[in-house]
Structure 1
Amino acid sequence: MDLDPTSLKPVLNRLRRAQGQLNAVIRMIEEGKDCTSVVTQLAAASSALDRAGFAIIADTVEKCAKQDEPELDREQLEKLFLSLA
């Protein structure tokens, strides 16, 4: 996958943020933290992953459709978008 360099940094930052949040969730569970805090942190990680996925799709869907996977039709593209919903 070849992201536009201006889009790459924010995507990587979101993924690193999600990674840190997931590590925090694991640590919180191991330490027996309260459910509300764990779920809140987990939701934040999920949101960061979703945003990274949407950014990747927004930046590369045309390229993927035309170059990497030219056989993708409208229905398959729609499924790709919905996989992150």
Structure 2
Amino acid sequence: MSENTSATTSVETKEYPYNLWWGVLACVAIMGVIIGLGPYDEGFVLPPDQGDFWYEWKLAEPTFWTRFTAWGGMRCTR
């Protein structure tokens, strides 16, 4: 008596709500906005280096609100 077993394999394909091309199109659109608005950059000048514990993005005149939002935001994440 010979048993005849046939195994059927089913390939499952995932259906994604968005196609890869939509992601590529979104990236190209964002790059286009950045390149298009590039000439309208104010071109601010960074101050010269002032030694240790100094960085270019440091505010020249920090106020209460700038310190509060920076340190308060950091405090909320801990």
Q: Would the TM-score normalized by the shorter structure come out above 0.5?
A: no
TM interval, short-chain normalised: 0.3 to 0.5
TM, length-normalised to structure 2: 0.33
Q: Structure 1 length normalisation: TM-score?
A: 0.30
Bigger Rg over Cα: 2
Structure with bigger helix share is 1
Which gives a bigger RCO, structure 1 or 2 (Cα 8 Å, sep 6+)? 1
